[in-house]
Amino acid sequence: MGINKKTQSCLTGLALMGWSAMVRAAWEFNFQIPATKSAQTVIDLHNMMMIIIMIIFIGVFAVVSYSVFKHRKSKGHQAAQFHDNTLVEIAWTVVPLIILAAMAWPATVALLNMRDTAQADITIKATGHQWKWGYDYLKGEGEGIRFMSLKATPAEQIRGSAAKEEHYLLEVDKHVVVPVGKKIRMLTTSTDVIHSWWVPALAVKQDAIPGYVRDAWFKAEKEGIFRGQCAELCGKDHAFMPIVVEVVSAEKYSQWVGNQKKQMAAAADEGGKSYSLDELKSRGEEVYAANCAACHQANGKGLPPAFPALDGSKIATGPKEAHIALVLHGKPNTAMAAFGGQLGDGDIAAVITYERNAWGNKTGDVVQPADIKAARK
Amino acid sequence: MEATHVHGAGHAHGGDHAHHPKGIMRWITTTNHKDIGTMYLWFSFTMFLVGGVMALILRAELFQPGLQFVEPEFFNQMITLHGLIMVFGAIMPAFVGFANWMIPLMIGAPDMAFARMNNWSFWLLPPAGILLTASMFVPGGAAGTGWTLYPPLSIQMGIGMDMAIFAIHILGMSSIMGSINIVTTILNLRAPGMTLMRMPMFCWTWLITGYLLIAVMPVLAGAVTMLLTDRHFGTSFFNAAGGGDPVLFQHIFWFFGHPEVYIIALPAFGVVSHVIPAFARKPLFGYTSMVYAIAAIALISFIVWAHHMYVVGMPVAGQLYFMYATILIAVPTGVKVFNWVATMWRGSLTFETPMLFALGFLFLFTIGGFTGLVLSNTAVDVQLQDTYYVVAHFHYVMVAGALFSAFAAVYYWLPKWTGHMYDETLGKWHFWLSFIFFNIAFFPQHFLGLAGMPRRIPDYALQFTDFNQVSTIGAFGFGLSQLLFLYIVLKTIRSGEKAAAKPWEGATGLEWTVPSPAPYHTFEEPPVLTEAKGHA
């Protein structure tokens, strides 16, 4: 009997796994598989509420259905004329109140825990930009690392001229890497409009509000890659600013931190280097595609009037200084961001050189990283 | 009530059409509550079709992943206009239309209290509707912010945003005037003997809705005016760099926005409280507790607004307070549902189209109420805020709640308005098509939200494809079914069996004591209620 039971439960388990794998592939109908205790708590709370709701719903509509089938005029049912019953009315006011209070208690406990951001191991700031996320590792191992994380899904896939990959729209060039089992405090803010940093498997959703800093936390229980996206309408490309969190072991995390530090050091002393026009143009084209093309378009024609054309524009063909200043500081109350805080001197020099020499713009100007460094002062 | 006796029913001068202009001028200059009610209803239906086409554009784009039909910025504009047009252009005017037509007939008044202002309240709507819709065609297009107009995104928008702001100002003026009119009419023009607690339930819901509107429309007007000055006159209400706070807008907006939900829902409750007793042939159960429940819902609706903002980062004490207050709304709402069920219990039920829509309302609105309860739980809402779960929730409340109730109202009162019975077979087709396609369109959106699909996106990850396709098919079916409704109404106006003064066996109330169609002028002499309990 013992063996039998074991086999049986094994088979059931396998069948369930097969079923859930099948369901996961498509027709997703429930919360994503949780990677934190908070996410599991949300699922448990939701299940509890659904059970209570189903019981009440079925109860109420059983009465309605009975009435619909039995108390029909076509079956000769005569209408009763009662229209009050104080006792019943008090009961169906008080009983729901008690049920609701019972539901509120575990919700309160869960919420207090979800909002307790104290004693974090690592603090990371996520900054929303139209339309990408920037990350600063502020405290704990990895302090000082900062990078932009851009959507990696190519335009061809979005426009349908290339097949869509498995992680369509949920892939970025640089993952947010964090160690497993550590409490990560996420600060959120924004440089332009309100965004919202959301990763379902971690149960973190926190609005990123320009001029203010908010916080939330998570502690991943397992390694893996967890995907999310911006959850607050932030303009044209709201659907195209994904978030990818990669949870790794402590050793791998230390390795990653080491690599990042080296890369950053290499990028930092670019101010002294100088490049040829062609070098800057080809690098600038990549920077442009990642940072500028969403609004100003790959062909430089923009989407006027909201997003002006660069091809033939006064800025891109006029004095260099004004062009550099605009890219560094942005334009208030428009979607033109201040890229000074987002990109290094080399990238800004390259993209400005590109814009001044691409399409119909033939200024022949070369902007070097040193020019940007000087303009920042 | 069968015990209601009416003396001097108001059709003595009913045929008198001598003193008002003909043709288009009749409609422009009219101060007649029935004409104005009719115009409100046609305006509402027109905007319903415009907003509906916009919804179908959204659903077409969402049929598969990738960008196929529209660009993301246009998609965002459609989202904004669909929301604003459906809320301010379709649903609210529909219920004001019912109020105009029916409240004077229900309370035995000759017309609305301020007949001239009534004309003005209506005629403000078309310019506002045109301003809003035409903003699509100006440089930069309409506001691409969603109907919530959150800054700083709304600060970035072009002239379309300013047009939306002015449209909202005008719509607000219209609503405030309409509300003052309805409140004054109900408080002052009731027939002798009709005390407040004998008043039909529809009048009660509108009395309270009127006060809600007067309280919150100026708040919305203030919020959008602050947007306007931030955009053009250098103020910084919502700009952190100038010492403001973008979240302040959300607080003001939702202080309007949450009562707005009940502004739409309460008159819908009122309609259902007439239709269910009529087709159960049994008085409304718990009239008094119904009135208290409406008042309680209205009061609580003022103190729950920030449950729309659980993830903006308010203090945890704020989150807890708003969660408890929101949960509390379930109590009076539950009382209403239980009362309707008890009204049906041991009645003598028939299932004409108005009753079908009322039952559809009861079933689907309860689902919408329950998902609201799930969303009220702050911890769970962290996962559901700004997802399709929310979209599903408020469409169960707004479409299956308010719109189904509006359909019930039209079928219930159409014989009174036109003097003809509608085609019952087609009416039932309309109900079943609407009911089935509505659920195909919106039920899968719960799953999408749970699985993690954000709202307001034109393109989505591949795992969301299947349910989006189902939803799009349902949406097109639902949209097309509404053309059948238009056909039924037109057919009823032109032809159809002659309707008796009281075409529904179980209907009660003064409106059924005047002939069908209701004469141009009614109750020029107030009716006298000789028996207690004049209410429906």
* Calpha distance B173→B166 (Å, rounded): 11
pLDDT in tens, B35-54: 999 999 999 999 999 999 99
Mean of the pLDDT values across residues B484-491? Answer: 97
Contact between B155 and A169 using a beta-carbon 8 Å cutoff: no
Contact between B153 and A233 using a beta-carbon 8 Å cutoff: yes
Report ipTM (2 d.p.): 0.91
The answer on pLDDT for A4 being more than 80 is no
What does the pLDDT read at residue B530? 65
Contact between B350 and A72 using a beta-carbon 8 Å cutoff: yes
Least confident of A251-265, A329-343, B124-138: A329-343
What would the two tokens of residue A157 be?
């896939």
**Band of residue A25 on the pLDDT scale cut at 50, 70, 90:** low
> Is the minimum CB–CB distance between A215 and chain B shorter than 8 Å?
yes
> Is the minimum CB–CB distance between B355 and chain A shorter than 8 Å?
no
> Is the minimum CB–CB distance between B330 and chain A shorter than 8 Å?
yes
> Is the minimum CB–CB distance between A209 and chain B shorter than 8 Å?
yes
Mean of the pLDDT values across residues B347-363? Answer: 96
What does the pLDDT read at residue A8? 53
> Is the minimum CB–CB distance between B383 and chain A shorter than 8 Å?
yes
What does the pLDDT read at residue A342? 81
> Is the minimum CB–CB distance between B331 and chain A shorter than 8 Å?
yes
Residue B395 lies in a domain: yes
The answer on pLDDT for A333 being more than 80 is no
- What is the pairing mode between strands A122-129 and A184-190? parallel
Residue B522 lies in a domain: no
Contact between B280 and A39 using a beta-carbon 8 Å cutoff: no
Whole-prediction pTM: 0.90
Residue B3 lies in a domain: no
What does the pLDDT read at residue B5? 44
* Calpha distance A118→A114 (Å, rounded): 11
**Band of residue B10 on the pLDDT scale cut at 50, 70, 90:** very low
Residue B157 lies in a domain: yes
CB A110 within 8 A of CB A41: yes
The torsion region of residue B452 among left (phi > 0), alpha (psi -120 to 50) and beta comes to left
What does the pLDDT read at residue B531? 57
Provide CB contacts within 8 A for B178, sequence distance 6+: B96, B99, B118, B121, B213
How high does pLDDT run on average in chain B? 93
pLDDT in tens, A151-165: 999 999 999 889 999
* Calpha distance B116→B122 (Å, rounded): 10
Closest in A27, A89, A305 to B158, CB measured: A305
Strand, coil or helix: what is A178? strand
**Bridge-partner residues for A307, per DSSP?**
A303
* Calpha distance B50→B42 (Å, rounded): 12
Can you list the domains of chain A with their CATH numbers?
Answer: 31-68+86-116 (no CATH), 122-268 (2.60.40.420), 273-376 (1.10.760.10)
Residue B533 lies in a domain: no
The B residues from 404 to 433 touching A (CB cutoff 8 Å) are none
> Is the minimum CB–CB distance between A196 and chain B shorter than 8 Å?
yes
Provide CB contacts within 8 A for B77, sequence distance 6+: B136, B141, B142, B143, B144, B160
A299-314 burial: b if 16+ Cβ within 10 Å, else e: ebebbeebbbbbbebe
Closest Cα in chain A to B289: A89
Burial tier of A115 (Cβ tally within 10 Å: 0-12, 13-18, 19+): buried
- CATH code of the domain containing B331: 1.20.210.10
Total of domains in chain B: 1
The torsion region of residue A246 among left (phi > 0), alpha (psi -120 to 50) and beta comes to beta
**Chains A, B: CB contacts under 8 A, how many?**
300
> Is the minimum CB–CB distance between A84 and chain B shorter than 8 Å?
yes
Mean of the pLDDT values across residues B150-158? Answer: 94
Residues from chain B contacting residue A172 (CB–CB below 8 Å): none
Residues from chain B contacting residue A49 (CB–CB below 8 Å): 373-374, 377, 380
Closest in A193, A210, A306 to B140, CB measured: A306
The answer on pLDDT for B528 being more than 90 is no
Contact between A84 and B140 using a beta-carbon 8 Å cutoff: no
Residue B2 lies in a domain: no
> Is the minimum CB–CB distance between A229 and chain B shorter than 8 Å?
yes
Closest Cα in chain B to A81: B282
Contact between B362 and A64 using a beta-carbon 8 Å cutoff: yes
Contact between A100 and B328 using a beta-carbon 8 Å cutoff: yes
pLDDT in tens, B290-301: 999 999 999 999
> Is the minimum CB–CB distance between A111 and chain B shorter than 8 Å?
yes
Would you call the peptide bond into B152 cis, given omega within 30 degrees of 0 as the criterion? yes
The answer on pLDDT for A10 being more than 80 is no
Contact between B324 and A157 using a beta-carbon 8 Å cutoff: no
The answer on pLDDT for B534 being more than 60 is no
Residues from chain A contacting residue B342 (CB–CB below 8 Å): 85, 88
> Is the minimum CB–CB distance between B118 and chain A shorter than 8 Å?
no
What does the pLDDT read at residue B4? 43
What does the pLDDT read at residue B230? 96
> Is the minimum CB–CB distance between A62 and chain B shorter than 8 Å?
no
Nearest in space to B428 (alpha carbons), one of B475, B469, B470, B481: B481
> Is the minimum CB–CB distance between A225 and chain B shorter than 8 Å?
no
Closest Cα in chain B to A162: B66
Least confident of A32-46, A294-308, B451-465: A294-308
CB B410 within 8 A of CB B44: no
Least confident of A46-55, A299-308, B208-217: A299-308
Would you call the peptide bond into A179 cis, given omega within 30 degrees of 0 as the criterion? no
Residues from chain A contacting residue B287 (CB–CB below 8 Å): 83-84
What does the pLDDT read at residue A278? 87
Mean of the pLDDT values across residues B242-252? Answer: 96
Q: For B206, how many CA atoms within 13 A lie in the half-sphere containing its CB? A: 33
pLDDT in tens, B85-109: 999 999 999 999 999 999 999 999 9
How high does pLDDT run on average in chain A? 89
**Band of residue A83 on the pLDDT scale cut at 50, 70, 90:** confident
Q: Which residue has the tokens 């022949």?
A: A364
- Percent share of chain A, pLDDT over 70: 92
What would the two tokens of residue B75 be?
């998609």
The answer on pLDDT for A318 being more than 50 is yes
* Calpha distance B131→B126 (Å, rounded): 8
Domain assignment of residue B232, given as a range:
23-513
The answer on pLDDT for A88 being more than 60 is yes
* Calpha distance A126→A213 (Å, rounded): 10
The number of beta carbons lying within 10 Å of the beta carbon of residue A119 is: 8
> Is the minimum CB–CB distance between A358 and chain B shorter than 8 Å?
no
> Is the minimum CB–CB distance between A145 and chain B shorter than 8 Å?
no
Contact between B383 and A104 using a beta-carbon 8 Å cutoff: no
**Band of residue B216 on the pLDDT scale cut at 50, 70, 90:** very high
Closest Cα in chain B to A43: B380
Residue B458 lies in a domain: yes
Q: Which residue has the tokens 């008890």?
A: B342
The B residues from 127 to 146 touching A (CB cutoff 8 Å) are 139-140, 144-146
Per 3-state DSSP, what percentage of chain A is helix, strand, and coil (rounded to 5)? 45, 20, 35
Closest in A89, A169, A205 to B461, CB measured: A169
Contact between A80 and B324 using a beta-carbon 8 Å cutoff: no
Mean of the pLDDT values across residues B440-458? Answer: 96
Q: Best interface-test mutation with B: which of A111, A195, A202, A333 has the largest number of B CBs within 10 A? A: A111
Higher-pLDDT residue of A216 and A333 is A216
Closest in B139, B323, B337 to A60, CB measured: B337
**Band of residue A292 on the pLDDT scale cut at 50, 70, 90:** confident
What does the pLDDT read at residue B19? 64
In angstroms, the separation between the Cα of residue B43 and the nearest Cα of chain A is 30
pLDDT in tens, B163-172: 999 999 999 9
Closest Cα in chain A to B319: A111
What does the pLDDT read at residue A271? 64
Residue B528 lies in a domain: no
Q: Which residues of B are the active-site residues?
A: 82, 111, 147, 174-175, 258, 260, 262, 273, 307-308, 333, 336, 455
Q: Best interface-test mutation with A: which of B355, B383, B460 has the largest number of A CBs within 10 A? A: B383
Mean of the pLDDT values across residues B481-490? Answer: 97
* Calpha distance A55→B409 (Å, rounded): 31
